[in-house]
Amino acid sequence: MKAMKKSALAVMALVLVLVMAACGSGNNGANNAADNGTSNGGENKPSGKKVTIEYWHTYSDAEEKALVEKIKPAFEAAYPNIELKLTRMPYEGLKQQVIAGVAGDAAPDLMRMDIVWVPEFAAQNALMDVSKLEGFEELKASVFEAPMATNFYNGGYYGVPVNTNTKIAIYNKATLEEAGLTEAPKTMDELVAAARTLKEKGKYGIGVSGIHAWGLGPWFWSLGGSITNEDYTKVDGYLNSEASVKALQTIVDWNNEGLVLPVMLGGEPGTWDGIISGDYLMSDDGPWFYSTKIAEKEQTGFDPMEQTVRALMPAGEGGSRSVIGGEDLVMFANSKHPEEAWTFAKWMLTEEPQKMMAETGLIPSNKAAADAMKTMDIPFVDTFVEQLETALPRTPIPQWGEVEGIFNLAFEKAIRGEQEPKAALDEAVKQIEAILN
Amino acid sequence: MSTSMLTPETKQVPVSSKNKFKLGLRQWMAVLPFVAIGFIGIAVFVIYPMIRNIMISFQDYSIMPNAANPWVGFDNYTKVFQDPNDRFLIALRNTFLNVLATVPVNWFLAIFFAVLINAKFVKFKIAFRTIYYLPIVTSWIIIALLFKYLFADGDGGFINYILHAKLGILSEPISWRSNYWSAMVMIWLFHIWKTVGWGVVIYLAALQGIPKDMYEAADIDGANAYQKFWRITIPLLKPITLFIVINLINGAFGFFPQVYFITAGGPMNQTHVIPSLIYIEAFQNLKFGPAAAMGVMMGLLVFVLTYTQMKKIGKQKMF
Amino acid sequence: MKTSFINKFIVYAVIIAGALLFVFPFIYMILTTFFQGTNTLPKPDQVFSVKVNFSNYVTVWNKNNFVNYFMNSVIVTSVAMVGSLFLGALTAYGFARFTFPGKELVFRIFLLTMFIPGVINIIPQFVIIKDMGLVNTYSGLWLVYIAGGVIGNVFFLRGFFESIPKELEESVLIDGGGSWRIFWNIYLPQSLPALGTLAIFIFQGTWEEYFLALTLIKSEAMRTLPIAILMFNDKYSTNYGQVFAASIIALLPVILLYVTFQKKFVQSGFNEGGVKG
């Protein structure tokens, strides 16, 4: 009996210790939050006023190098009172990280976020409206309009465009010659003709890379299709318009004829494999194809500058259209240092830092930097910058995540022959309208 | 089965209905030192999140801290069923298909390999066991990447390369992940390959506990290996089989990485299971209410289905 | 009775075929790590004729703080494993050796929680850890790992504990020892095989855990190994050679641990009295 009591006491004590430890570190946490002067390494600088802002990003290896070696020192030299803490996030499960951060009041101050997420998080009140902040109008005037528009939600701007990108048509040079062409097709009709020639040789010519807005967009729009009206409020009469049905029908017909890359429906080889091996005549992809493949040139023996041809998307009834990608710099609503974060955002969008990142192939959203980029020695960006002029954004609405699910499903059903294009699009419109209203 | 495991102290207390409450209290006081921390941990990190989950299923939930989260009654539940694409029902069907397709195969392979490896004359038992166990100790995400690579389309994927280009069993390479049934088969193979080793290892351990003299007696009676397997091994392993089957069923109900990392629910949302659907609804579409409602409904369903079994499970000796 | 040669041959053939089935994908994976620039995947013909080349391993080892994250994972996983084992055994002992009102009810409720998908539990768990001020600490991670695993571990250990013969306790009781002594001197040593098995399950589960670790740990210096591995999985492309090389390195400690522990957990076997139904 006594032994039992003793042990009971011991356990209680253990619990107590655990709880106290928890509370103790809780206090530490609070202290740390209070004086952000302490840097990561734990050295206590007496300067007191120094503020640390945290920046989440998903830059690639090469881009991160520029960020750490150029951007951070340059910014901290210009603003000695602000320390920039960079955290590179893995792409897998990223959205979950942001959600947990927001829900637990532990989001960073700033994040470089995919443009399609911005309205979605803005609608959750997770982001700060920057349009009222000092210096916003000047900033807005200095950047391109289309990337800026991706931050617009409900009368405000919930971020600023940090870089932009789009996809262009990338051809395998040897396969292009095999198709009897000396230069890239200018129109959809020329491309289809080339694809038919190649079909006899067991190769694929039409490079739709996947059944999602990012993969289908350039093709659907170039063929004359549309998703919504201009202010993104109505899909009925647009997504199921005659022109849209016809555009989808064309893609369906191509696929039935065996002209489209198998990768569209999740098959193999992958887009890059196919372009490199020459089994695929072409596909549309972003600048990272070039930056990655140039970096691997030594190892793989594939020189993308020599062995591929870059061109604008072939024009159809809707012209030569591509899709706008890129990232926005957003500030979270519960940022502890909104002023300093905004200082960084403004600085990051000025010409010099934009040029630093441009060297890695990221296309600046700052007009002056984009101009300067033309004279910089970056071998592949010219076509991307040109394509940007006619590229379209994926519908910037908070419900986009869900809308895209419906969009993808309708297209997949039509392409797999489960539904007629008209019926599939009508059904999608009905479902999307239900979400929008 | 001995029902009372009274501690020496409590044993001496005479049991009368009057003292029942006192006795219960005393019993709790005796056991509390051992289970208190565990119970607190479970309450805080398992039960409480589950209660939150149930609450969220009746709320219009926003991820913002301090948001109002108004109560909406059964709205989230009706929303789940109003889905024009019936994703919940499809996921439910797949969940049951997964149990039916993987549990028997998984169980059979586990006991089959374990009994063979356990045969007296087999050498290098430890090496075999280690190899069979390898898939278990590897991360789901990595194995998923590997399987997608092995099951790649065309003759570039190893499976197609063997079945089509080398052996000619298939007339053309299969696009595994683009069709419903082939995707399901791939998910099942992935799951079985990854988890069979677990059952093998547990069975191997249990088989060593079977007294040798029972087999010797059977030998004298002239029983062959097949008879020995069905008349001695299987009945003796019954409790451990129960433990394994429950875990296999639990595992098959809980498919998440199997689906999320292989097909992400495609093609056309046809291969979703409830957990992957919940994940997509919550963390892609930010619809926590309906996601929580699906979790609650699945929990209730499993509860109803297993309630009658629970009594057995609760009291059954596992080893 | 002697097993005939034919029978022996068939048994060996079957278990070797099984072993090949389990080990082959790993061989394929290792062969793939010998390729460079594997954002595009090599074909089977190429895979089987590849020259051994360890440069991906070298690259991986020196990239993404791999070594740091590896050591972090060792710390996180070891503590979580020891803590889980201890707490699991303690609670299972409570269920196995004591009678108290509502015992089976509580146990059944615990089991039920195992069947409810916990996918979105991560948000409430994170908020609790946040309220305790344990974000960005390993203590927070340990709390969730250990507390979240109790039920499964108790389920595993309870039956095992119940099969330990009561007579063994008598010597302790005669010496005047109580329930704690019985726990330490009888139950733990008697169930080493089960604890060994469980240790491996826990180790491997924690070693590969990704989502929670990433959510709770905000500082890059404190991240764990799975995060480093997935850093090779880029938004636009996956460098398979590097991802697989990193995974092979990550696999080694688990195999090592398995080989060390397995002697314990099979040689003594599940104890004889247990298998009587």
Strand ranges for A39-158 from DSSP E:
51-57, 82-88, 110-114, 152-153, 156-157
Report the alpha-carbon distance of residue C262 to residue A126 in Å, rounded.
Answer: 50
A286 and A357 inside one domain: no
In a domain, A393, yes or no: no
Contact B150 C25 (CB under 8 A): yes
In a domain, B1, yes or no: no
Domain boundaries, position A58: 51-164+326-388
In a domain, B63, yes or no: no
Q: Which two tokens stand for residue A137?
A: 């109008």
For the cut 70, the answer to whether the pLDDT of residue C230 exceeds it is: yes
Residue of B nearest to C96 (CA): B5
User: Number of folded domains in chain B?
Assistant: 2
Torsion angle in degrees (nearest 10) through CA of A57, A63, A68, A69:
-170
Average pLDDT over residues B83-88: 87
Q: Which residues of C touch B135 (CB under 8 A)?
A: 22, 25
B20 and B80 inside one domain: no
B126 and B256 inside one domain: yes
For the cut 60, the answer to whether the pLDDT of residue C274 exceeds it is: no
B132 and B33 inside one domain: no
* A109, A340 Cβ separation under 8 angstroms: yes
A314 and A332 inside one domain: no
Which tens digit of pLDDT belongs to each residue from B290-304?
Answer: 999 998 898 888 777
Contact B269 A409 (CB under 8 A): yes
ω into A269 cis (within 30 of 0): yes
A286 and A139 inside one domain: no
Q: Which residues of B touch A431 (CB under 8 A)?
A: 84
Which range has the worst mean pLDDT, A1-15, B195-209, C3-17, C229-243? A1-15
In a domain, B173, yes or no: yes
A260 and A190 inside one domain: yes
Contact B268 A409 (CB under 8 A): yes
Q: Residue A286 gets which letter from DSSP?
A: -
B150 and B32 inside one domain: no
B28 and B126 inside one domain: no
In a domain, B62, yes or no: no
Question: Which amino acid is it at B59?
Answer: Q
CA distance A29 to chain B (A): 19
Please check whether the domain covering C61-274 is classified as CATH 2.20.25.90. Answer: no
B41 and B89 inside one domain: no
- Of the pLDDT bands very low, low, confident and very high (cuts 50, 70, 90), residue C66 is confident
For the cut 70, the answer to whether the pLDDT of residue C272 exceeds it is: no
Predicted model pTM: 0.83
A310 and A219 inside one domain: yes
* C200, C189 Cβ separation under 8 angstroms: no
CATH of the domain at A230: 3.40.190.10
- Average pLDDT for chain B: 84
A204 and A294 inside one domain: yes
Report the alpha-carbon distance of residue C187 to residue C96 in Å, rounded.
Answer: 10
Contact B153 A125 (CB under 8 A): no
- Of the pLDDT bands very low, low, confident and very high (cuts 50, 70, 90), residue B122 is confident
CATH of the domain at B238: 1.10.3720.10
In a domain, B201, yes or no: yes
Task: Give SS3 for A328.
Answer: strand
Q: How many CB atoms lie within 10 A of CB B159?
A: 18
Contact C93 B34 (CB under 8 A): yes
Report the alpha-carbon distance of residue B95 to residue A46 in Å, rounded.
Answer: 59
ω into C25 cis (within 30 of 0): no
CA distance C138 to chain B (A): 16
A188 and A255 inside one domain: yes
In a domain, A256, yes or no: yes
Q: Residue A68 gets which letter from DSSP?
A: I
A255 and A135 inside one domain: no
Rounded to 10°, the helix C5-32/B125-137 angle is 40
A190 and A272 inside one domain: yes
Long-range Cβ pairs for the range A347-354 (8 Å, 24+): A347/A75, A347/A78, A347/A79, A348/A71, A348/A75, A348/A162, A349/A139, A349/A142, A349/A143, A349/A160, A349/A161, A349/A162, A350/A142, A352/A74, A353/A71, A353/A74, A353/A75, A354/A163
Residue in A337, A339, A338 with CA at minimum distance from that of residue A35: A337
Give residue A27's pLDDT.
Answer: 38
Give residue B293's pLDDT.
Answer: 93
In a domain, A5, yes or no: no
Q: Which residues of B touch C231 (CB under 8 A)?
A: none
A411 and A427 inside one domain: yes
The full DSSP string for A190-212 is HHHHHHHHHHTTT-B-B----SS
Extract the residue ranges of chain A whose pLDDT is less than 50.
Answer: 1-46
CA distance A344 to chain B (A): 25
Domain boundaries, position B42: 8-56
Report the alpha-carbon distance of residue B157 to residue C182 in Å, rounded.
Answer: 57
Average pLDDT over residues C180-206: 86
Report the alpha-carbon distance of residue C176 to residue A22 in Å, rounded.
Answer: 36
A149 and A284 inside one domain: no
Which tens digit of pLDDT belongs to each residue from B218-258?
Answer: 888 888 878 888 888 888 888 788 878 888 988 888 888 88
- How distant, in Å, are the alpha carbons of A86, A119, A218 from that of A339? 18, 22, 39
Higher pLDDT, A311 or C120: A311
Average pLDDT over residues C162-190: 85
In a domain, A23, yes or no: no
Report the alpha-carbon distance of residue C205 to residue C217 in Å, rounded.
Answer: 18
Give residue B18's pLDDT.
Answer: 65
CA atoms within 13 A on the CB side of C160: 32
Q: Which two tokens stand for residue B313?
A: 């499970």
Helix, strand, coil share (%) of chain A residues, nearest 5:
50, 15, 35
ipTM, 2 decimals?
0.83
Which tens digit of pLDDT belongs to each residue from C131-172?
Answer: 898 988 999 999 999 999 999 899 888 877 887 888 888 888
Residue in C234, C229, C230 with CA at minimum distance from that of residue C249: C229
B38 and B181 inside one domain: no
Give residue B284's pLDDT.
Answer: 86
Chain C residues bordering chain A (beta-carbon distance below 8 Å) = 36-37, 39-41, 63, 122-123, 126-127, 129-130, 132-137, 139, 143, 176-181, 210-211, 214-215, 218-221, 227, 230-231, 233-237
- In sequence order, which residues have a C-beta less than 8 Å from that of residue A390 and are 6 or more positions away? A312, A319, A320, A321, A322
A280 and A185 inside one domain: yes
Provide the residue count of chain C: 277
User: Number of folded domains in chain A?
Assistant: 2
Q: Which residues of C touch B63 (CB under 8 A)?
A: 123
